[in-house]
Structure 1
Amino acid sequence: MTIKHKITLYSSLFFSGFYALIALFIVMSFASFRAEEFKERLNEKALTTIRLLLDVKELDNDLLKIIDQNSIHQLYDEKTLIFDENFNLIYSSLDDTKIHWTTGDLEILKTEGAYFKSEGENEIYGIKHLNNGKQFYAIVSANDNYGKSKLRYLTTIVIITFLVFLLATWLFTFTLIKKQLKPLDEFHENISQINDLHIERQLATKENSKNEIDLLSIEFNQMMSRITEVYNLQKDFTAHVSHELRTPLLKLSAQVENQLLQQKGENDLFLKSMMQDIAQLNELINSLLLLTKNNQTNPREYESIRIDEVLYAAFEKISHDFKDISIDFSIAESVAETPEILEVKASPNLLEIAFSNLIKNAYLYSDNKKVQVKIYKDNHKLKLSIINAGSKIADKAEDILFKPFKRGENTADSKGLGIGLTIVKRILTNFDFSIEYTFGSYTHQFLIIF
């Protein structure tokens, strides 16, 4: 998970959790308020009923039931019971609602003076009342349908607002974080474009900016300038040395060649071996020069060239050097029907070197000296595959295929410098092409994606 997503997640969780706690507090506070308010109403109902029953002599039980039933403060699903000091029931309201009470409930009232509890949808309130020196007990049961309806409405509103707040918080936080960290994304994108071919690239900065990312970009540019200077010094040194080595090698090659022409005999094998070593040294020097060449030319500045034409030139060169090579070349029908697909912007000379190195590599490490080359189109991209048959190389060797002067265990019986694939990778990268290596079914494949 990226830092941007982590900040968004943690910020949203914090504010959402904070709001959820506030919402829960509001709902619980209102629920407690509703219960206390309803308890007061039940208390008022109980006291009013006791006073009417005991203090107004003109009222009998039947009349009190009628008054109680038509009271403007009538409670929903209400039931009222009045007991004397001996726990005898002296009044019961007219409705059919039942109150589940026991002598234990009256004992609690006698001891504690009041109690409040819930029973199903109803809530029950009991109270002890002293009248004319005598104790009376009242138990009132009712359903606070109106209060509960308000509580449900409030809970629904709170849940809806919480969900809206949650969505708004996530969107706002993500948008804000994305906007604030946009310079960091640009910083990452610019850094990802820096490689050995574009090492002198500088990051865009704003003057007199106190933004941490701009300050970091300035420091990064200064660091890259120092690295570029050292890199160029090293590259220039390698190039100069390579140029200087060419002259003595050419002289040595000419002298050995003259000796071969003038002498015939035992020294022929020795001189031919020297010529091979000199040729290998020349190849190494040429490779070093190619690797150290700072080719920063934009591929768009090249003229369009055709892949198949460059391949034919590479085939001709390889066939001249290796007489027993067998090349199976094919172009997919979808590509052949639209030849303009074969056109790319690159240097034909450099691209020919890359193709030649790949075909040469496939030939040298093939079990049957056969190389299969195919051009086709896949996922709207032009691809070139170079395949040869051979046993699998070690997994560690796959990791160093494109590293200079690194050779696998399967190269012990063949001559090479371990730099050919490095050159290939460098050339293709310079033209914004990519290369992949895969092994399967006893075949090695290098895949170039244009």
Structure 2
Amino acid sequence: MTIRNRLAFRFTGLVSAILLLTFVSIYAFCWYFIASDFYRRLDRKANTLGEMLIRHRLDAQLIRQLSNIRKDQLPNQKIIVFDRRDSLIYVTSDAVKLAISPTTISSIRKQKRREFRQGEYYVCGIRFMTASGQYVVIASAENVYGDVFLRQLLWALIGLFILSIGITAFSGWFFAGDALQPMQRIDQILNAIFPQNRNERLPVNPDDDELSRLSVTINRLLDRIAESFRLQRMFVANVSHELKNPLTQISSQLEVSLLNQRDPGAYQQTIRSVLDDVTSLSELTHELLQLSQISQDNTDGLLTDDVRIDELVWDIRDEVNAINSRYEVSVDLGELPDDPEHLTVRGNKTLLCAALKNLIENACKFSFDGHANVHINFSPSTLQVSITNEGPPIPETDLPYIFEPFYRSRQTAEVRGYGVGLSLVERIIRLHGGQITVSSAPSQPTVFRMVLNR
């Protein structure tokens, strides 16, 4: 069932329930009012006749004549009087057949007054107490006009109910379609989006309603998908470029070596050059493998070590200083906490070592004097590592992309590398539930700030 039909069905059901309750209440009120009024009239007639016949002991024939003269006779009216022995002592009309059982007379004596229906007749019975015993007066009649009115009212309410349900169902279906029309437009626009027109977005209504917020959310999703496509294309292009260069060099050198007979020294030189290119390919393959492993979703089994960050930083400092005599790394631990546990994070020591080493080595590589400073701040809940260097600032246009795989700005194009390191660092930090940010501006040091949760 479509949403439109479901909304129309529920709206119709709700309105139907309200109308049914209203119409039933109207009919019940009218029935109660008409029946109560008719029973009161029967009660007055029974009381009047009882007073004349029993208390004032008027002649029965005289009472019949007076009753015939009166103009307020009810349809098929009949009044019956029983004495203390349940013997019939007075009846107004023999033509009206109304059988009163001794059980009914007995219940009237016990209840003093009773109202009930018997077939088409409304019956009201009352008890009269006298010195000679108990008498029972029963008045009955047909409520012709009231019953006709109730039947007409019933049919009118049924017809009005059916008509109202039909109008409600059509109105609910129509307005549900009108309300869902923006959803249909969203569906049409989304179905028409292909890679060729992936920049197309949903129109956003200025009204801050649910559909506007849904359109904004979908547009953000489309932006993320488009960004993923862009990164994928850039990744493939960069990988292709990085693989193509060494492969082309290997192929060219081997082809040149096969053109003419050469001395052993030339072949050895060619083999060394090819070996360098193969080594570069191996390093690139290794970095890509690391990147793919960190990108896997199921990495819970990797974070099993208790890593002392201060010890890890000192070890990396020695390794980076040994890479190049120009490199110099200084470490500032700040104010050490009293509890050594505040220096420990839960994670993977090998991955954290790779991330920190990459950041510190890059800081030395792009520093004016090869110097990098590592500052560590501790708190009960977080641990922050800042790597600072004095070097060329990272262009503002490059800052949003430096953590993307294979992205290399013009500033880093002359430095040997593949553009995988920072992407690997970012994924390692994210794997550990942390964050990494970078700030760089002219005349200001470049700072990579890594925050890990303890």
Normalised by the length of structure 2, the TM-score is: 0.49
Task: Please tell me whether Structure 1 or Structure 2 has the larger radius of gyration of its CA atoms.
Answer: 2
Normalised by the length of structure 1, the TM-score is: 0.50
